[in-house]
Structure formats: structure tokens, C-alpha cells
Amino acid sequence: MSSKATQQPFYLRVIVYAFVGFWLVLAAFPFLWTFWGSFKVELDFFSIADWTNALTGERTQQVHGSSFTGDGYEGAWVKEEFWRAVLNTFIVCFFVVTISLTFGTLGGYALSRSGHSYTFWLLIAALIARAMPQITLVSGYLLPFFEWNLWGYLPTSIIVLVAINQPFTLWMLHSFFQKIPKDLDESAKVDGCTQFQAFRFAIIPVMWPGVITTGLFSFLLAYNDFAVTTMLLNKENQTMVPKIASFLGTTQTEGNVMFAVAAVVSATAPLFILVMFFQRQIVSGLTAGAVKG
């Protein structure tokens, strides 16, 4: 970072900081607003009367005698047992990420190292397959899954999410592998390694930047998925997003929106830790990759 090329004149630095600051406000404001509002009652958070109530918590004051209340959290976590959904989400995310990356690195590596023209067509086919709208795919799974007694279980959803996510993972890893010089594994093969050994010893050590970035997206996909988890999981196996959706109520019955808001905020907390942890990997890992590349 001390390189001459990245040193900036003062005015540019101001512009950059102002721009990044502006973006941060844009990106984080709705979330901070939600975080603040999650300690209010519904009438304040969705303040139809006057939006400033969301800041001051006037109704919250009247109901609870203080402008902050943990009712939403208590309702979501204690009454509705949101922790079950959290647990299920982390099981799903963990397996989706590991399986996706395992399948994806093998496939992506092979695609990047094979010069045959079918690799191009495989990539195109994967891309076209990705164009299929998810809701159609999922509603097509229902009957066979019920027929074979696979419906409702976490492993089924995990493998479906992995499969749906494969085209994206393949494309992303394929482009990362292309950036890793071929000499690396070619020379390993000259030294007498098999293709797999070359992959294992020459490629795996330098592939982490791409893998971590791809893993991040796989994780977010599994974490945020609604279409698959809501239609393929039994009520007791539900992950967070369908669970949150179920707090919102239906046409004929009132939901409890503040449970949903509190649940959203608490669902974001583990991600905060995760990103804080992995940003170091992203920054340092990517830089290391660059040196070797």
C-alpha cells in the first residue's frame, strides 16, 4: 500500500473518502434504521402518523415506559423459537458452501485446463441452465420428491441449492483458474505428478482468493434463499428466511412484523462476525495470490 502508484494527492483523497462515505451511508442506512427500529413497537417503526416517531419511539414510550423494548427479540427467539431456524440455516449454509466449492473447484479447474471445444459448450450449457427461473424448477421438484420421500429434509434442500448454484460457481472459479498460470501445474506434471496431484499440490495452495470470494457468494445464496427453502422444507426444518416470512401474516390473519424485524437484525449479526473474519482472508489472501501470479 506504500507503493508509489497508490499514493494520492490530497484532493483526490478527499474525493475518494467522500464517495466511499456516501456509498456507506447509502448501503448501511436502511440497515441501521432497521436496527434502531427493532427496539420499537410496530406503530413507531412503521410510523404512518409521523416518521420521526421511528426515531423517538413515542408509542414505545407509552406502551413500555421506555423508548426501547426487547419485545420483538423476545417474541422471535423465545416464543417462536427462532434459534431452531438459525441452527438449520447454518447447517444448510455450511454444507452448501463446502459441497459447492468442492464440486466447483474440481469442475472449474478441469474446464480451465482442457482445451477441447466441449468445455466451451459445457460452460454455455451451464449458463443457459442458470437462466431457468427458480420457481419453475422448484415447483417441478415437488412431485418426485414427495414420491421418493425426499421432501422436507435438510439434505434435499442442500443438494438442490448446490445444484442450482453450480453454474455460477463453475463460471466464477473457471475465470479465477484461468488467471493462475498454466506453467504451475504443467511443471508439476513434468515432475511426474498425475493431474490430480498437480491440482492438489500446485493449484490448491494458490487458489484460495478465488475460492473465498466464490464461497462468499455461495454462502449468501444459501443464506438468503427463499424459493427453495420455503417450498422444499418441512415446517420444523425451516431455515431463517421462510421462518421470517411466516412472521409476516397472511391475508386473513395478522402477523407480527416486529418479530420479523428483530429476527432480521439478529440474523445479520453472525454475518458481521463472519465478514469481519473473512475480510482479512480476502485482503491478505488476494494480495498473496497476486504476488504468486
Q: What single-letter amino acid sits at 27?
A: A
Phi, psi of 254 (to 5 degrees): -70, 135
**Which of these segments, 21-29, 78-86, 90-98, binds other proteins (CB under 8 A)?**
21-29
Count the helices and strands in the chain (H runs, E runs).
Answer: 16, 0
Q: Measured between alpha carbons, how far is residue 119 from residues 108, 115, 122, 173 in Å? A: 10, 7, 5, 14
Half-sphere exposure of 104 (CA within 13 A, CB side): 33
For the chain, how far is it from start to end, CA to CA, in angstroms? 18
By CB under 8 A, the residues from 180 to 199 that bind other proteins are 195-196
CB 75 to other proteins: min, Å: 12
Check binding of 67 to other proteins (CB under 8 A). Answer: no
**Which of these segments, 31-39, 76-84, 90-98, binds other proteins (CB under 8 A)?**
31-39
Q: Alpha-carbon distance 186 to 192, whole Å?
A: 10
Closest CA to 258 of 33, 41, 34: 41
Check binding of 86 to other proteins (CB under 8 A). Answer: no
**Which of these segments, 25-33, 79-87, 90-98, binds other proteins (CB under 8 A)?**
25-33
CB 58 to other proteins: min, Å: 10
Judge contact between 106 and 172, C-beta under 8 A.
Answer: no
By CB under 8 A, the residues from 207 to 246 that bind other proteins are 209-210, 213, 216-217, 220, 223-224, 226, 230-231, 234-235, 238, 240-242, 244-246
Check binding of 66 to other proteins (CB under 8 A). Answer: no
Residue span 87-126 as binding mask against other proteins, x where in contact by CB under 8 A, dash where not? ---------------xxx-xx-xxx-xxxxx-xx-xxxxx
**Which of these segments, 76-84, 90-98, 285-293, binds other proteins (CB under 8 A)?**
285-293
